Amino acid sequence: MLPLATLWRIARRDLATRIRGLRLLAVCLFLGVATLAAIGSLTRGITAELETRGQTILGGDIEFSLPQREATAAEMAAFRREGAASATVRMRAMANAPDGEALLSELKAVDGAYPLYGDLQLASGIRRGPPPTGRIWIGADLASRLDLGPADRVKFGDKSFVIDGIIADEPDRLGEGFTLGPVAIIGLSDLPATGLIQPGSLYESKYRLRLPSGADPEAVGKTLTTEFPGAGWDITDAGNGAPGTRRFIERMGQFLSLVGLAALVIAGIGVGNGVASYLSGKRPGLATLKVLGADSGTVARIYGLQILAVASVAILAGLVVGALAPAAIGWIAGDVLPVKPGIALYPLPLGVSAAYGLLIAIAFALPPLAATRHVPAAGLYRAAIGGAARLDRRTIAAVATALIAIVALAVGTAREPMFAAGFIAAAAALLLILVALGWLVGRIASRLPRPKRPLLRLALANLHRPGSATGALVVALGLGLTLFVTLAAIQTSITAEISRTVPQRAPSFFILDIPRDDAARFRAMVHQADARAEINMIPALRGRITEFGGQRVDELAELPEGAWVLRGDRGLTYSDRVPNGSTLTEGQWWAPDYGGSPLVSVDDQVAAALSLEIGDTLSVNVLGVEVQAKVASFRTIDWDNFGLNYAMVFSPGTFAAAPHNMVATVAVGEDAETALSRSIPRAFPSASLIAVRDVVSQVTSLLTQMSQAIAAAASIAILAGIAVLIGAIAASRERRVYDSVILKLLGATRGQVLGAQGMEYAVLAAILAALALGLGLAGAWYVVTQLFEFAFAPDPWVVGLTLIGGAGLSFLIGIAGSWPLLSAKPASALRSL
């Protein structure tokens, strides 16, 4: 066996003379690796930034949040014993401008220690502590929408404030979670004067601690919980200061990474085609080496080194682009991302991407390379070789090992291994279906009667003759068309979901914190504005589940899958009848005059996640008091009706003694809507009015951003599919040159030669369009219903036009690839026979 240095010298010299054939391999690997590296680095960059800025995002080393109450003196003393403490109170409240305009905002009251970490940045500079007494800082969006500025006045509740500055950056904004309005900050001492906190008002108190160096936040949390077992607080530490944001970023990153992996696998087919085309062009060199005494193993190693060198450069280039992508995306996306990822190298996603690229190169380049071992030198000197060489067991084992390693790497590094395994299985099934279809098309074409028209007969023969590229073309065209249909169905289903979730008679407003004693006055005001108004008013409290089915929540090592109700405090209500939009699925509803021990009706999906049965117990902590109820029934809830939907509805009397207010939905005409948006905040200063159109706008914006991210990742897969199509055309180039020359010698015109190939592509495009429609819709259904949990409602016109456009594009690419063959010189082509 020749030394490696000698093999590399021969490989390098041969590669230097003509690298053109391996450009497809380089492009395919570069696209796939760059996509995976960019997605992985961006996901890791955001999560790393969340971890690095955890204390600033949370506002402390550890946070204790309490719904609808403030900490007691004993609890505050315990907080201060552990470290420096800062108290904040946050609630939704109406900002009222002097001209009568009102806007829902997030009012935040802070104490003198705020912020414990980071800086509150105003347009005029950095500030610490609260605004001066009687003054307020407001967000730029609030200032813009109400046309307010410094020194103007704005009213919250019963108190009017002078605007002291415009907020440029709130250090703990991300840790506060989802908001429905711009922020405004006042001093904690000014909060009582607003009159917004009444018994039953919906607000949240947060206490952040700055612990001594070396203190363990988890241990502090356990100590204080043991000391105050009935406190009912939620604890968050700086290691996960924005859990909802992090969970969303990691899940989206996993899905997009799997889409990128699918693109890389698709590109792998292009790698195989590119290598086959390259080795076909190197046939004289292969034959010469064998004639001069080189054995098959030596020849394979020489050209294997060439392929490895080009693949390594492509992978390295992809890694460079992927490493730089987070900074570029952060600059382009601006405020769309929750935090801007820093400029740094993240070895794990880059290493995983490089491993994927190398394994894909091995799995798809090895078969055409190994095939050269079994072709004799005499055969290599001929341009056309009948039949394909069979792969030996070692090659099959190596390819199988590489594919198994790809699957293991994808599942092993996934946040949700089962989801990753299902995605990979679906992608593999799609490839197998396309491969089988390619075989079936050739089989059927060979058994059909021979058409009388020469061009049609030639096009049909091209589908099944020896050495036909039908299999590769079916995979390439099928993947491209399937992806086009999938993207169109996903986009239109998301658009339809937005339209569908806003009913024809949607409420105009959600109104929070209506005083229970003023419920009748509120109804009278609304009906005075619109006699046909529809009002749905129910009691509202906040509480946290502490026990279900005998299992204490604080003793769980990990929350059950789908048990979102266990994360923090949740909305609670009680009712003597089944709520609107709910349907009983199991159990019985209590009598209207029921006055016995507490009962609860639970959403059936929540019940399934918690493994609840009728008769099990469920306990909630409300205002520091734990209440245990027995599960009486399960309900299916129509969450899309824009109504007042609660996962847990308790029997009357369960919370009647607890201080609480009312919430309502109001549906009125447009004129009354304008009037009530002004009159309700003035008549009920403590109430918060949420316009449905604002909610829809925020949801639409979020869903649009998510669908754009999916489309961006999937577009790489489409590019890879196009590269595969080009590779399939290139791999059959020599045979098509031969066909073109023979036909022209027999008197065929260029138009007839091109027409025969056009018919071939048209037949394949028509067959695959029907298949792509089914497969693409199935893939879109999975994404829409399983990932987004939306109804599947694609627009047939958009999907159909997209399919036609994709098929037309694929046809044009095929014709464009065939056009250069028409200029092939007969003498040159015939000389190689």
CB-based contact 655:627 (threshold 8 Å): yes
- Average pLDDT estimate for 302-315: 86
- From residue 640, give the alpha-carbon distance in Å to each of 444, 636, 703, 708: 49, 12, 15, 23
Identify the three-state secondary structure at position 53. coil
The better pLDDT of the pair 769, 629 is held by: 629
CB neighbour class for 806 (10 Å; exposed up to 12, middle 13-18, buried from 19): buried
CB-based contact 200:512 (threshold 8 Å): no
CB-based contact 691:509 (threshold 8 Å): yes
Instruction: Give residue 695's pLDDT.
Output: 67
The better pLDDT of the pair 177, 568 is held by: 568
For the segment 261-301, what is each residue's pLDDT rounded down to a tens digit?
666 677 777 777 777 777 776 777 777 777 777 777 777 78
Cα distance between residue 584 and residue 604, in whole Å? 9
Instruction: Give residue 249's pLDDT.
Output: 66
What does residue 578 show for φ and ψ, rounded to 5 degrees? -65, 125
Instruction: Give residue 245's pLDDT.
Output: 59
The better pLDDT of the pair 541, 819 is held by: 541
Single pTM value for the model? 0.65
Instruction: Give residue 820's pLDDT.
Output: 67
Per DSSP, 783 falls in state I
Rg (CA), the chain: 34
The pair of structure tokens assigned to 244 is 């909802």
Q: Is 70 exceeded by the pLDDT of residue 376?
A: no
- From residue 335, give the alpha-carbon distance in Å to each of 50, 174, 182, 339, 705: 15, 12, 15, 8, 12
Instruction: Give residue 499's pLDDT.
Output: 66
For the segment 438-450, what is each residue's pLDDT rounded down to a tens digit?
888 888 888 888 7
Cα distance between residue 601 and residue 586, in whole Å? 10
Instruction: Give residue 822's pLDDT.
Output: 66
CB neighbour class for 244 (10 Å; exposed up to 12, middle 13-18, buried from 19): middle
The better pLDDT of the pair 647, 237 is held by: 647
For the segment 19-30, what is each residue's pLDDT rounded down to a tens digit?
666 777 788 788
The better pLDDT of the pair 484, 382 is held by: 484
For the segment 790-831, what is each residue's pLDDT rounded down to a tens digit?
778 888 888 888 888 878 877 777 777 667 666 666 666 666
Cα distance between residue 117 and residue 54, in whole Å? 10
Beta strands 153-156 and 84-96 are antiparallel
For the segment 163-173, what is each residue's pLDDT rounded down to a tens digit?
999 998 888 88
Average pLDDT, the chain: 80
For the segment 143-152, what is each residue's pLDDT rounded down to a tens digit?
988 889 999 9
The better pLDDT of the pair 259, 574 is held by: 574
Q: What is the DSSP string of 383-447?
A: S--SSPPPPPHHHHHHHHHHHHHHHHHHHHT-SSHHHHHHHHHHHHHHHHHHHHHHHHHHHHHHH
The pair of structure tokens assigned to 796 is 């047939």
Instruction: Give residue 500's pLDDT.
Output: 64
Banded model confidence at residue 642, pLDDT cuts 50, 70, 90: low
Percent of the chain past pLDDT 90, that is, above it, reads 15
Instruction: Give residue 766's pLDDT.
Output: 82
Residues linked to residue 139 through DSSP beta bridges, in sequence order:
167
CB neighbour class for 85 (10 Å; exposed up to 12, middle 13-18, buried from 19): buried
